[in-house]
Amino acid sequence: MEDNLNVVIVSPILYAQFPGFMPGDVLLGLKHMGFDHAIDLSYYIEMYQYAVEEFVLENRKAHRPLISPICPVVIRLIVLNYPNLINHILPLRSPAALVGDKIREKLSHEHGMAEKDIKLYHITPCHSKVVPDRSKLMDELSYVDHALGINKIFPGLLAKMEQVKKLELSLFPNEHFSFVPSSRGPLWGMSGGEIAGMRIDRVIAVSGLKETMAYLEKIEMGLFSDMEYIEFRACTEGCLGGPLTAVDRYMAKSTVQKFIKMFGIGRRLPRRKIRQLYDKGWFFSKLKPSALTGIYLSKKKSLTIKDMKKIEKLMSLIQGNDCGACGAPDCRTFVEDVVRGEADLKDCFKMR
């Protein structure tokens, strides 16, 4: 790490793992772990929410309801099981992708070093964002050098934060923090956090894989066409319930609720300037939803009779409940990925 500039993009779910600590403490703890910059996503979350509002209001003829592009498990589920809904997926980039678009260029100028010497890390609660073949979805992590699960970094970070707790209050802001956290960041991790504060009337949030599948089936049947936008999360309670988190989802939810009381969810950014970026197309994904089918299906190796026997054997071994923790939309898809060599059996919690 010594010869590189090490930058960590922090999933706001990380803050909820540390009750009793402020988000700034978490960022400072990361710096004490050796990261040169710790980037909070609250700024980009607010920009993303504005872009969603603009798209919904300006594209009245687009398919309804529009579906959030944020959860990679849900997107993969739609592509494989509900292809008729692909064009419902909002063609915008996630907040993390917005950060990665320009951060290397910005830091390269600031530090006078080559972009290749700037290493980007992303701390995430989501297994799908750690598996390389799945993390490219919708430009989500195509720019990241290393994705780290929250549960992997948690013990070391907690130790550093205990040291931070003993430090005197700094009278000056830390120059290595990019943007100041607000409650929009932690709130993002809760089910309903994406749509909270959006100026769109007809929106709902659905969490949990079974609930998500039930609603997708209803949308295919023509229901909910009066809704403008639906936030889907495969994990129960949203990303706070992600498989790579370190604390109980309901404890984390309680911590988020305290942040909301402290900070509120008011807007901090000028709409006019965000609108300028929107008009330039900065928020839009280069990967159109209609291209997703080709990405997933063109790479799939055909299965032989021998492969099918392996699949049935593994299915009986796993006896899963389609929890989605592995990053696949269901157990059979996961097992097929294992047989094709695209996933590791240990990605399943039952096989560890």
DSSP characters for 172-230? S--TTEES---THHHHHTBTTTTTTT-S-SSEEEEESHHHHHHHHHHHHTTTTTT-SEE
**Mean model confidence pLDDT for the chain:** 84
Domain identity same for 76 and 177 = yes
- Cα 102 from chain centroid? 18
Q: How confident is the model at residue 340 (pLDDT cuts 50, 70, 90)?
A: confident
pLDDT reported for residue 168: 67
The CA distance from 348 to 71, in Å, is 19
Q: Is residue 232's pLDDT more than 70?
A: yes
What is the span of the domain harbouring residue 221?
Answer: 5-294
Domain identity same for 203 and 333 = no
Q: How confident is the model at residue 266 (pLDDT cuts 50, 70, 90)?
A: confident
Instruction: Dump pLDDT digits (tens) for 341-350.
Output: 877 787 776 7
Domain identity same for 206 and 264 = yes
pLDDT reported for residue 135: 46
Domain identity same for 209 and 327 = no
Least confident range of 23-37, 54-68, 281-295: 281-295
Least confident range of 120-124, 219-223, 243-247, 313-317: 313-317
Domain identity same for 155 and 18 = yes
* Cβ–Cβ under 8 Å, residues 89 and 78: yes
CA neighbor of 35 nearest in space, from 142, 191, 153: 153
Domain identity same for 286 and 306 = no
Q: How confident is the model at residue 292 (pLDDT cuts 50, 70, 90)?
A: low
Domain identity same for 95 and 159 = yes
pTM equals: 0.83
- Residue finishing a domain among 262, 279, 294: 294
pLDDT reported for residue 214: 94
Most confidently modeled range among 127-131, 327-331, 333-337? 333-337
Tell me the average pLDDT across 146-172: 83
Q: Under DSSP, is residue 92 helix (H, G, I), strand (E, B) or coil?
A: strand
pLDDT reported for residue 290: 64
Domain identity same for 331 and 232 = no
The domain tally of the chain equals 2
pLDDT reported for residue 332: 85
323, two tokens: 């929890």
- Residue finishing a domain among 249, 279, 294: 294
Looking at the chain, which runs of residues are DSSP E strands? 5-10, 37-40, 66-67, 118-124, 146-149, 177-178, 203-207, 229-233
Domain identity same for 238 and 342 = no
